[in-house]
């Protein structure tokens, strides 16, 4: 009888731990792997990040926003969201404009409400021989107007990013959270660069985990880096 009681206690503790883990993953924090180079140099292929799913959460009472670490989405936030064209895919980009903003770009300079945006994080790989076509979008007299409750997002790697310049804005309900920490980073195999959105298998997850023991592939300097 005593042994059965102990087993029940362990089973109860395990069940509670599982519920808490599922709750945390659903409502608080979730881990993601960077699959493409669209956010270089801020985020590299092979970076593993934590996403805060709580920060943009809804609140019922006004005092909750005073006591709890929640806030609205701001320009400059790096967010994870469901890709509007395929909601089964998660994308990560930087918020450039919020509802009501007017946005256009001229030779690599992004204008928000007719003021140039200071972007120390932006990368223009073709700038040395002239700005690419994608570096100029919309127009001063016909800017993109961000609807209320939507966000205009762009990748930091401006010459290699599929973003709001091509498929439009992101509605608030598709935002999953804010990227805030690189907890692990390693140099992935070449196949990850050429197939960033392929379906990952259990074997991929095991290989990712084992690669932490390979000091030649682990990017130690990027671990525990706060994302800005």
Q: Please give the positions annotated as active site.
A: 38, 93
Report residue 96 as tokens: 């450039």
Instruction: For the beta carbon of residue 6, count every other beta carbon within 10 angstroms.
Output: 10
Rounded Cα gap, residues 219 and 80, in angstroms: 22
**One-character DSSP codes across 154-178:** E-SBTTS--SHHHH--EEGGGEEEE
Q: What is each CA distance from 170 to 10, 12, 151, 156, in whole angstroms?
A: 45, 42, 5, 17
Whether residue 38 contacts residue 155, with contact meaning beta carbons closer than 8 Å, is answered with yes
Rounded Cα gap, residues 31 and 80, in angstroms: 11
């Amino acid at each position: 009888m005593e042994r059965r009681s102990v087993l029940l206690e362990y089973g109860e503790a395990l069940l509670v731990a599982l519920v808490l883990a599922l709750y945390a993953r659903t409502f608080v924090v979730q881990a993601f792997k960077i699959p493409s180079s669209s956010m270089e140099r801020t985020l590299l292929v092979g970076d593993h990040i934590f996403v805060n799913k709580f920060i943009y959460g809804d609140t019922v009472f006004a005092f909750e926003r005073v006591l709890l670490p929640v806030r609205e989405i701001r320009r400059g936030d790096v967010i994870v969201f469901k890709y509007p064209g395929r909601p089964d895919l998660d994308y990560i980009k930087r918020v450039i404009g919020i509802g009501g903003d007017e946005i256009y770009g001229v030779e690599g300079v992004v204008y928000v409400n007719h003021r140039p945006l200071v972007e120390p994080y932006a990368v223009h790989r073709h700038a040395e021989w002239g700005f690419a076509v994608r570096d100029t979008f919309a127009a001063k007299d016909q800017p993109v107007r961000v609807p209320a409750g939507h966000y205009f997002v762009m990748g930091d790697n401006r010459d290699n990013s599929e973003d709001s310049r091509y498929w439009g804005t992101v509605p608030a309900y598709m935002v999953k959270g804010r990227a805030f920490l690189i907890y692990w980073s390693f140099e992935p195999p070449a196949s990850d660069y050429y197939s960033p959105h392929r379906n990952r298998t259990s074997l991929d997850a095991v290989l990712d985990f084992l690669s932490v023991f390979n000091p030649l592939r682990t990017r130690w300097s990027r671990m525990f880096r706060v994302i800005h």
